Homo-oligomer: A and B are copies of this chain.
């Protein structure tokens, strides 16, 4: 035990943020810092972008990643929630890191 040398017996209860706010920054009218499904979208965006950048077809990517053609199509359409194990496989097939799949796309020059 002694996970953290907490001065108090009930560490969690005595912790400064003992009771973490359930709705911290959910200001009415303000979107959450991280919207639900942002990962799915980022993954899809980067997936389509990287794939098109290489001139690969969904079938080719599916073949490279060892996944099925239909699955690739679903992920790109955000109708399917892939697991990290498959996301890594996709990233490996594209030659990028898993973190890159969730990296925000390079904002295009406005002018």
Q: Check A84–B34 contact: CB distance below 8 A.
A: no
* Interface residues of A, count at CB 8 A: 44
Whole-angstrom CA separation of A41 from B54 in the bound complex: 28
Contact with B along A65-98 (1 / 0, CB 8 A): 0000000000000000111110110011001011
Q: Check B84–A87 contact: CB distance below 8 A.
A: yes
Nearest-neighbour CB distance to chain B for A57, whole angstroms, equals 6
Contact with B along A1-39 (1 / 0, CB 8 A): 001101000011001110010000000000011101111
Contact of A102 among B38, B40, B64, B97 (CB under 8 A): B97
**Residues of the B chain whose Cβ atoms lie less than 8 Å from the Cβ of A55:** 3-4, 6, 11, 15-17
